[in-house]
Amino acid sequence: MTEIKLQTEISADIERCFDLARDVDAHKLSTSKTKEIAVAGRTSGLCEKGDKITWEAVHFGIKQRLSVEIVEMQRPIFFEDKMTKGAFKSMNHKHNFKEANGKTIMSDHFQYEVPFGLIGSFFDKLILRNYMIKFLKTRNQVLKSIAEKEPASNIA
């Protein structure tokens, strides 16, 4: 299993950051490079526990679908989504939020397993892990930018 842990410091209150991270429309903005859109389940607004979402995006030149379920939520400090169907063997993403010195620390704990045995493992070590880190960092920087610059009424 591959684990990626990231932290992003955001100059905005915890509730705003939490809501942005679970906002389907903000997610679409933050993943525009991969043309990611929600095509089934919750397709707009704020995700809640029990919501199911199927995302469609282009990764490595291939249109792919990934279905997730929001399996846990403790507003405004934590939510977790797990893959129910997709290209990974398994995928779990925990989103944590805490306040520190007037800012919010948004932490990602992203875990996944790749299929295809040794070939998948080699691909992960050579390409996929770095790709996923860049993907998550880009997403987080877009969310940070929105949280710090746009008025709250322009989202969700």
Mean pLDDT of 32-60: 96
Cα 32 to Cα 27, 37, 40, 144, distances in angstroms: 9, 9, 18, 15
Average pLDDT, whole number, for the chain? 95
Q: Are 3 and 111 contacting, i.e. CB atoms less than 8 angstroms apart?
A: yes
pTM: 0.91
Provide the domain count of the chain: 1
Is 156 part of any domain?
no
List the CATH number of the domain containing 34: 3.30.530.20
Does residue 101 fall inside a structural domain?
yes
pLDDT digits (tens, 9 = 90+) for 70-112: 999 999 999 999 999 999 999 999 999 999 999 999 999 999 9
Say yes or no to pLDDT of 142 above 70.
yes
Containing domain of residue 104, as a range? 2-151
